[in-house]
Amino acid sequence: MSALTWLQRLVGRFRGTPSEQPDPEAARNLFQRRYHALRLLLAANTQALSAMAAMEQAAIKGGGFGMTFVRSHCTAVGVNVFKMVRNLDILAPEKYTLLFDRLEEIQHRIDDDLATIPTPGDVPHVLPMAEIQHTHIDVTGSKMATLGEVANVVGLSVPGGFVITTSAFDRLIAANDIQPEISRLLQAYQSEKLDELFVLSSKLQQLILTAEVPPEIADAIVAGAEAAEPAPYSTFALRSSALGEDSAGASFAGQYETLLNVRRSNLVASYLEIVASTYTPQAMQYRKRHGLREDQVAMSVGCLEMIDARSGGVVYSGNPGDDRDSDIYISSAWGLPKSIVDGRFASDLIIVKRAEPPTISSRDIGDKRNQFVLHPREGVRRADVPDAMQRQPSLADHEALAIADAAMKLESHFGTLVDVEWAMTHAGDIVILQCRPLTQLRESTDRSLPADTPKPLISGGVNASPGAAAGPVHWVTRDMDALSFSRNSVLALVQPLPRWAALLDRTAAVVAEEGGIAGHLATVARELGVPAILGAGSLADLENGFEVTVDASGRAVYAGTIDALIEQRAAHPEQVADSPVRRTLRTVLTHISLLNLVDPKGLDFTPENCKTMHDITRFCHEQAVREIFAFGTETKFPEYASKQLHHNVPMQWWILDLGGGFGQPVSGKYVRLEDIACKPMLALWDGMVAVPWDGPPATSRRGLASILFEATANPALASPFKKPYADRNYFIISEHFLNLQSRFGFHFTNVEALAGPRLEENYLSFSFKGGAADLERKAARARFIGDLLAELSFDTEVIEDVVNARRTSLDHQDVEQGLRVVGYLLMHTRQLDMIMADRAAVAHYGAKIRADLTQFI
Amino acid sequence: MAISVLVVDDEETFVQTLAKRLTLRRFNVYTASRAERVFATLSENLIDVVVLDVKMPDLDGIEATQTIKNSYPLIEIILLTGHASLEASLEGMKRGAFDYLLKPVNIDELVYKIEDAHRKKELQEEKIRRLKDESNDPSGEVGPVD
């Protein structure tokens, strides 16, 4: 017997006929299995949509994700879409089997796209630099994967050496069983206080520093050092390369440790130090600011040949503070590039114009009295620059042009502006030490000053991060000063050291006596949009607590707060990075997130027209609700039939209880509001009746019940004949679940919520469409509602007169609170489209709605 | 009665840690780190849900899913993998797995999946029991499993 005939037999028995009464227990079991299938389908829908949203975010923002991210999210979407199709098949056996074929076709298309980037096989603990390319990003971190690509694909010179991969990191954490303690400490930390962050950071770093490096990792490190090319070299530079580091908009510049001149015998201990720097206060603050998850941190470490540089520095293939400027900016100093990236000492700034051939358009030669050098025995140390060299350029013209050429090659290969750390050897060879996407800000085009701008207290320095902001001055020269740093202060520094980046999260603006545009602190300031003037010279006039406005774009500091200037200088981050992984992500998204099936009433709303994963989720969700509704309305067994809501009068809503939605069994045609136990429905109802409607038209004297009645009164609903699903007002409920499909006046609404004990599965979604006015006013109302919901933390999308809003991962109280808001909006926005042309009226109702919501939430 | 879960993975440490955490959540946990123990445990005990690593040296998780479902159609299987592959995951689902999770495992998520899988099994068992009671069919045909 086929599944279909068997179910037909059972359903036939369940539905019953006058001569054949249904078996209540069989009916109950069938109903519960269908309800369970619906619940699993809805949970899979939430998970599929969340995975799609994460992929879309990554595609828009860019970032240091690799193919592991892309593959795991494709898998999450695929598995959950499969579960939706399978559960729909339980709700409507053999009715939509074509969806399995559709899913398989989409899966093959995705697999084909994913195959363009091979999966690295089993990952060793150590990989030689000569084997690394950008596709190794998941195991070597972005920084080392990019450096490998620079050498092995672009063909530029990089230091030799090897990378200790994330596989070693995972093994280190697992072998010492410290992840539970790390998770516990991180979960326990809820504070905003800096001193507590420092304590947490210290505990986490201690956990790692006291861990045992498993022998297989130690052996692999020693073997890697022995095999390193070009041999022999006795000391290494150890550089962090964490997952997510160095991505566009998240450079982590200087937030992790770099150790120079590490002897072979110290490699293992130094490896632990770099891994421990995963939890420096500044790195933790940085992750928080960029919304990066602590539990997805994994550190790999590059062990690279030390380059004894005659000169070193940083080249930007564009002006980081102004996207209209395509010149190439080279910061250079004598010795190692450390003096540039630390922002400590004076340097040269050489600007190269892109022309045929490129030419040097400007040279600003600094008074370079100090440098960092590589000493054979003492390692990296500070040294005086001989008098004769102090005012000499640290790069000859042809060397500067060669560096600019390398930057342009890298820019062309990676398809984005680049920020490159380089060294020039004593033999005159260029070695690339690091390459990452450059964050560029769009500078305000208006360079004028507002009227009445006073004379600046300080002028000069470099615009290291454009914009303007005001706040009280707070000098930071040692850690103690940082602990008392209050939010929205102006950070005043002598040297813009990378470690002060932990404060940028709460900083209005930065001013420093020393430093230039290429330092790590400048890079992070640009990413966070914090205006910064560096290299300003003496700031002795700025006293602690003194209120100032820092105009980085105008390279000036003014006494007091000048709002007009702050507004005029507003800067916007501009991210343009791309990578093969991101391109692959965008390609697979065309099979995943595009939505072609938009209108459930449309003739094209069929399995045949499901072209993407999103189409299948949309189709399954819609059909699942229809099927369960049909099941509930067609059954002859009264316990499972839908009931008409009775609240003072019979309302135009029918209610189908899937289990636990009624406080007690309800026999007969009606269910009273006091019999409802579904908390989401009661919350929505609370919102609907919380504040009497006094908008157009004025509140009826017949009271709220009749307004609620009228709300659903529509000519199409007056018919005594049985309505199809889409034309009826009904609630499908259970103890924790609500689906409301309703017409309110002339608009169509769908509210769906799950508010159970599983926070991860809970959600609230709200769709709204239509109205009686013309499309322009309906669209204006949709935007009005969309803005309100966005203010209330909903993910909101407005397309013409349609509003779709969704919130996920909420506890049940938050879902219920959200439902009160939605209930209120249902009643109070239903005829607002009629007044959308009247600006004063819109402002009036906007203010009233916000005031009402503030009062009753 | 506690839900009985069989955790299968060749990584002994992983199996033991997961077993400990599931036991704390009041599951009745069995473990197996070799293929032979999987089938022995299934035949000796009443298992509700199997949590099965896809890639073990002596056991292909996808094929094992089919074998288990053929012999014990009501047992639900949750597949675990360290390496995401859309093709392999969907193949596992087609062969009858209840769900597919990526390592590292979020314990709350796994617990929810086990509870959902068990609820499905419970409803199926009840359906079959009822149909057997009602059925006059000596063949004992009771219809398909969802």
B108/A760 touch (CB, cutoff 8 Å), yes or no:
yes
Intrachain domains A28-114+594-633 and A458-567 with the same fold: no
User: Which A residues, 650 through 679, put their C-beta within 8 Å of a C-beta on chain B?
Assistant: none
For residue A638, the model assigns a pLDDT of: 61
Give the ipTM of the model, two decimals please. 0.90
Q: Are residues B93 and A68, on separate chains, in Cβ contact within 8 Å?
A: no
pLDDT at A554: 84
Percent of chain A with pLDDT over 90: 31
Is the separation of the CB atoms in A350 and A471 below 8 Å? Answer: no
- How do beta strands B76-81 and B49-53 pair? parallel
pLDDT of residue A712: 52
b/e per residue A741-755 (b: at least 16 CB within 10 A): bbbbbebbbbbbbbb
Q: Classify residue A617 as left (phi > 0), alpha (psi -120 to 50) or beta.
A: alpha
Lowest mean pLDDT among A54-63, A172-181, A702-711, B56-65: A702-711
A38 pLDDT higher than 80: yes
Could you say which of 3.30.930.10, 3.30.1300.10, 3.50.30.10, 3.20.20.120 is the CATH number of the domain covering A458-567?
3.50.30.10
3-state secondary structure of B114: helix
Q: Residue A714: is its pLDDT beyond 60?
A: no
A819-845 in b/e form (b: 16+ CB < 10 A) is: bbbbbbbbbbbbbbbbbbeeeeebeeb
Mean local confidence (pLDDT), A656-669: 86
Q: Which residues of A touch B86 (CB under 8 A)?
A: 71, 74-75, 78, 107, 110-111, 114
- Please answer whether residues A307 and A423 qualify as being in contact, where contact means their C-beta atoms are separated by less than 8 angstroms: yes
Where would I find the H helices in A635-726?
A: 679-689, 704-711
Residue B93 — very low, low, confident or very high, per pLDDT cuts 50/70/90?
Answer: very high
**A819-854 residue pLDDT tens:** 999 998 888 877 676 677 777 777 888 888 888 888
Give the contacts of A427 (CB within 8 A, at least 6 positions apart): none
Q: Any chain A CB within 8 A of the CB of B125?
A: no
Residue B141, chain A, CB below 8 Å: the answer is yes
CB atoms within 10 A of CB A541: 12
Mean pLDDT of A366-389: 85
pLDDT tens per residue, range A510-556:
999 988 777 778 878 887 788 999 888 889 889 999 999 999 888 89
Share of chain A above pLDDT 70, in %: 82
CA distance A141 to A134: 9
Q: What are the E-state strand segments in A264-356?
A: 299-305, 309-316, 328-334, 348-353
Chain A residue with the nearest C-alpha to that of B103: A72
Residues B39, B45, B49, B51: is their CA dihedral positive or negative?
negative
| pLDDT reported for residue A791 | 79
DSSP per-residue string spanning A10-46:
HHHHHH-BTTB---HHHHHHHHHHHHHHHHHHHHHHH
Asked if the model's pLDDT at residue A4 lies above 50, the reply is no
The predicted-structure confidence for A745-790, as pLDDT tens digits, reads as follows 556 788 999 999 888 788 999 988 766 666 777 778 888 888 888 8
pLDDT, tens digit (0-9, with 9 covering 90-100), for A794-803: 888 877 778 8
Nearest CA in chain A to B127: A29
- B133 interfaces chain A, CB cutoff of 8 Å: no
Instruction: Quick: pLDDT tens for B25-52.
Output: 999 999 998 888 999 999 999 999 999 9
Q: What is the pLDDT of residue A230?
A: 55
The CATH code belonging to domain A28-114+594-633 is 1.20.120
Contact between A321 and A462 under an 8 Å Cβ cutoff? The reply is no
* A758 CB within 8 Å of a chain B CB: yes
The pLDDT of A164-177, averaged and rounded, is: 90
Mean of the per-residue pLDDT values for chain A? 81
Binary contact (B143, A6; C-beta < 8 A): yes
Domain parsing of chain A, residue ranges: 28-114+594-633, 122-307, 309-433, 458-567, 642-853
Q: What CATH superfamily classification does A122-307 receive?
A: ATP-grasp fold, A domain (3.30.1490.20)
Strands, E assignment, A620-694: 643-647, 649-657, 670-672
pLDDT for the residue A281: 82
Do β-strands A730-733 and A649-657 pair in parallel, antiparallel, or remain unpaired? parallel
Q: Is the pLDDT of residue B139 over 50?
A: no
Q: Do residues A396 and A295 touch, judged by C-beta distance below 8 A?
A: no
What average pLDDT does the segment A648-665 reach? Answer: 84
Please list, in sequence order, all residues whose beta carbon lies within 8 angstroms of the beta carbon of residue A397, skipping any fewer than 6 positions away.
Answer: A360
Decide if B87 and A111 are in contact by the 8 Å CB cutoff.
yes
* Contact residues, A window 376-415, toward B, CB-based 8 Å cutoff: none
The whole-angstrom distance between A75's CA and the closest CA on chain B is: 4
Asked if the Cβ–Cβ distance from A36 to B85 is below 8 Å, we say no
Q: Which residues of B touch A3 (CB under 8 A)?
A: 143-144
Residues whose CB falls within 8 Å of the CB of residue A851, separated by 6 or more in sequence, listed in order: none
CATH architecture of the domain with range A309-433: 2-Layer Sandwich (3.30)
Residues in chain B: 146
CA distance B23 to B28: 6
The angle that helices A24-61 and A613-634 make with each other, rounded to 10 degrees, is: 160
- Residues of chain B contacting residue A47, judged by C-beta atoms under 8 Å apart: none
Q: What is the pLDDT of residue A2?
A: 41
| Cβ-based burial of A470 (10 A; exposed 0-12, middle 13-18, buried ≥19) | buried
* Per-residue pLDDT tens over the stretch A183-207: 777 766 655 667 788 888 899 999 9
CB contact, 8 Å: A119 with chain B? yes
Report, as an integer, the average pLDDT of A458-483.
86
**Three-state helix/strand/coil letters over B23-70:** HHCCCEEEEECCHHHHHHHHHHCCCCEEEEECEECCEEHHHHHHHHHH
Q: How far apart are CA A766 and CA A845, in angstroms?
A: 21
Instruction: Kindly report the backbone phi and psi dihedral angles of residue A252, in degrees, each rounded to the nearest multiple of 5, phi listed first.
Output: 55, 25
**Mutate: best of A79, A293, A584, partner B, most B CBs <10 A:** A79
pLDDT at A707: 47
Chain B residues with CB-CB distance to A10 below 8 A: 143
Q: Are A337 and A422 in contact (CB under 8 A)?
A: yes
Interface contacts (A, B; CB < 8 Å): 81
Residue B65 has pLDDT above 60, yes or no: yes
Tell if the CB–CB gap between A32 and B83 is shorter than 8 Å: no
